[in-house]
Each structure stands twice: as C-alpha cells, then as structure tokens.
Amino acid sequence: MVDQSAVGTTFTPVKARVEPGRLRYFFETLGETNPVYRDPAAVQAAGYAATPIPPTYLFCLEMMDSEKPFEFLEKLKIDLGRVLHGEQRFAYHAPVVVGDTLTFESRVTDVAQKKGGALTIIDVETRVTNQNGRHVADTVRSIVVRN
C-alpha cells in the first residue's frame, strides 16, 4: 500500500512537441468545432501565435510521448488493475500552441487513505515548461487505488 513516504517521489521528465497532425486527430476524436482550433483567421483574431491546445490535451501529450507512461505505477508498486481515475486539474500560466516543445516534470504531492484504508488517493503534480523555459502550466491528477 502506498503511504506518506511516497510524497516527493519524482518521475522521469517527459519532452513532447505539440504537433498539428496529432492535435487535429484529438479534435476530430472529440468532435471539437470551435474555430479557434480550426481556422487560422480565428486563431489570429484570438491573439494566438499558432493554434492553441485545449486544456485536457496536456495529459494526452504527456502520456503519448513518455517512454514509460506508467512509470508512476512501477515506482509506487501499484497494480494497474486496482487503479481508478480520480480527478484532473489544470492551471495555465501562458498559452500552449502548435510548435511548442514542452517538458513535463511530475512528483507525488499527497497520499491520503480513505474509507478506512480501502482506498488510497495519490496526487501527482506536474510542472510544464516550454522550449524557452517559461512555466506554462501546472496539472494535478488524482489516482485512486483500491486496496
């Protein structure tokens, strides 16, 4: 069982490039029709340097470009069959657009036991910086483990 000793555990940084083809595929999958994601004139009118990403795309990008997408499970000795999706939170500090190269640096920030120890909730916070070293976003994912 994961406990407070896991707080501070870090994971291998992930580098990912925001590529237009994969982003279009993401939009198609979601059925996204907002012109700011599809029309260069709308992108420019909104003040973006290039097509922006939607908030949830950071999680997909990090997983797709990671050499070990489930490293947190291995490091914390968690059986994937016991994992439930908890919560996701995003805080954007600057736009992320097509052409950016991002670095994701993740660490465990909290471990809590719930339901008398039947569940463990693990928060993993990720700091995201772009190719210029600018801090563009923070994400938090809560992973629920059935014990």
Name all domains of the chain by residue range, CATH numbers in brackets. 4-19+52-146 (3.10.129.10)
Q: What is the pLDDT of residue 147?
A: 94
Give residue-wise pLDDT tens across range 3-46.
Answer: 999 999 999 999 999 999 999 999 999 999 999 999 999 999 99
H or E stretch covering 63: helix 57-65
- Cα–Cα distance, 141 to 138 (Å, whole number): 10
Contacts of 24 (CB under 8 A, 6+ apart): none
Q: What is the pLDDT of residue 55?
A: 85
Q: Minimal CA–CA distance to 107: which of 5, 9, 1? A: 9
Q: What is the pLDDT of residue 88?
A: 94
- Cα–Cα distance, 139 to 46 (Å, whole number): 24
Give residue-wise pLDDT tens across range 103-131.
Answer: 999 999 999 999 999 999 999 999 999 99
- Cα–Cα distance, 52 to 20 (Å, whole number): 10
